[in-house]
Amino acid sequence: MVEIQAVSPLDGKLLGSFVGSTEQTIQLQLLAARSAAQIWTQYPVAKRAKILSGLRPILLAESKAICTIIMQTTGKVATEALLGEIFPVLDLLRYYEKHAAQILSYQPVFTSPFAYPGATAGFSWRPYGVVAVISPWNFPFQLSLVPLLTALFAGNAVILKVSELSLPIGQLIIDLLARLDLPNGLVQWAVGAGECGAQLIDAGPDLVCFTGSLATGREVMRRAATHPLPVLLEMGGKDAMLVFADAYLLRACDAALYGAFSNSGQVCISTERLYVEQTCYAEFLAMLLAGVSKLKVGEGTQADLGAISSPAQFAVIEAHYQDALAKGAKASGPLLGDGNFIRPVVLWDVSHDMLIMREESFAPFLPVMAFQTENEVVNLANDSEFGLNVSIWSQDLHKAQRIAAQLQVGNWVINDVLKNAGHPRLPFGGVKNSGFGRYHGAEGLRQFSYPVSGLISRSRIAREPNWFPYTERSYRQLMGFMDFVYGSDSLYRRIRRNWRVLLAFREYSAINIVQAWQNLKLLLPWKRDY
Q: Containing domain of residue 67, as a range?
A: 3-235+443-451
My answer on whether 200 and 251 are in the same domain is no
**Which of the four pLDDT bands, split at 50, 70 and 90, describes residue 509?**
low
Query: Which residue intervals of 226-277 are DSSP H helices?
Result: 249-261
Residue 312, pLDDT score:
87
Answer with the residue of higher pLDDT: 213 or 466. Answer: 213
Residues in Cβ contact with 325 at an 8 Å cutoff, skipping those fewer than 6 apart: 331
Answer with the residue of higher pLDDT: 508 or 19. Answer: 19
> What CA–CA distance (Å, rounded) separates 408 from 380?
11
pLDDT of 528 above 60: no
> What CA–CA distance (Å, rounded) separates 8 from 3?
17
My answer on whether 415 and 515 are in the same domain is no
Strand pairing class (239-243; 231-234): unpaired
Segment among 28-37, 72-81, 429-438, 502-511 with least mean pLDDT: 502-511
With CA atoms as reference, report the closest residue to 268 among 309, 234, 313, 312. Answer: 234
My answer on whether 95 and 188 are in the same domain is yes
Q: Which amino acid would we find at residue 168?
A: P
> What CA–CA distance (Å, rounded) separates 476 from 163?
65
CATH number at residue 295: 3.40.309.10
My answer on whether 175 and 54 are in the same domain is yes
End-to-end Cα spacing for the chain? 47
In a domain, 152, yes or no: yes
371 membership: H or E segment, kind and range:
strand 365-371
Q: What share of the chain is helix, strand, coil (3-state, %, to 5)?
A: 45, 20, 35
**Which of the four pLDDT bands, split at 50, 70 and 90, describes residue 111?**
confident
CB-hemisphere CA count at 13 Å for 164? 15
In a domain, 432, yes or no: no
My answer on whether 307 and 358 are in the same domain is yes
Residue 319, pLDDT score:
97
Cα 111-474-458 angle, rounded to 5 deg: 30
**Which of the four pLDDT bands, split at 50, 70 and 90, describes residue 64?**
very high
In a domain, 346, yes or no: yes
SS3 for 475?
helix
My answer on whether 168 and 108 are in the same domain is yes
Under a CB-based contact definition with an 8 Å cutoff, are residues 105 and 337 in contact?
A: no
My answer on whether 67 and 181 are in the same domain is yes
SS3 for 42?
coil
In a domain, 313, yes or no: yes
pLDDT of 137 above 80: yes
My answer on whether 178 and 111 are in the same domain is yes
Q: Which amino acid would we find at residue 482?
A: M
Under a CB-based contact definition with an 8 Å cutoff, are residues 249 and 280 in contact?
A: yes
My answer on whether 404 and 257 are in the same domain is yes
Under a CB-based contact definition with an 8 Å cutoff, are residues 410 and 434 in contact?
A: yes
In a domain, 434, yes or no: no
In a domain, 430, yes or no: no
Q: 275 burial class (0-12, 13-18, 19+ CB within 10 angstroms)? A: buried
Q: Which amino acid would we find at residue 387?
A: G
> What CA–CA distance (Å, rounded) separates 502 from 273?
65
Answer with the residue of higher pLDDT: 112 or 4. Answer: 4
> What CA–CA distance (Å, rounded) separates 201 from 196?
9
SS3 for 221?
helix
The domain boundary, picked from 399, 433, 451, lies at 451
What are the phi and psi torsion angles at 178 (to 5°)? -65, -15
My answer on whether 188 and 170 are in the same domain is yes
My answer on whether 218 and 273 are in the same domain is no
With CA atoms as reference, report the closest residue to 41 among 202, 206, 189, 161. Answer: 206
Q: What is the pTM of this model?
A: 0.94
My answer on whether 189 and 119 are in the same domain is yes
Report the mean per-residue pLDDT for the chain.
94
In a domain, 435, yes or no: no
Q: 320 burial class (0-12, 13-18, 19+ CB within 10 angstroms)? A: buried
Q: Catalytic site residues?
A: 234, 268
In a domain, 189, yes or no: yes
Q: Distances from the Cα of 222 to the Cαs of 210, 215, 339, in angstroms?
A: 13, 11, 36
> What CA–CA distance (Å, rounded) separates 192 from 199?
10
Q: Distances from the Cα of 315 to the Cαs of 304, 307, 308, in angstroms?
A: 23, 15, 12
The structural domain count of the chain equals 3
DSSP 151: H
Rounded to whole angstroms, the maximal C-alpha distance in the chain is 89
CA 472 to chain centre: 54
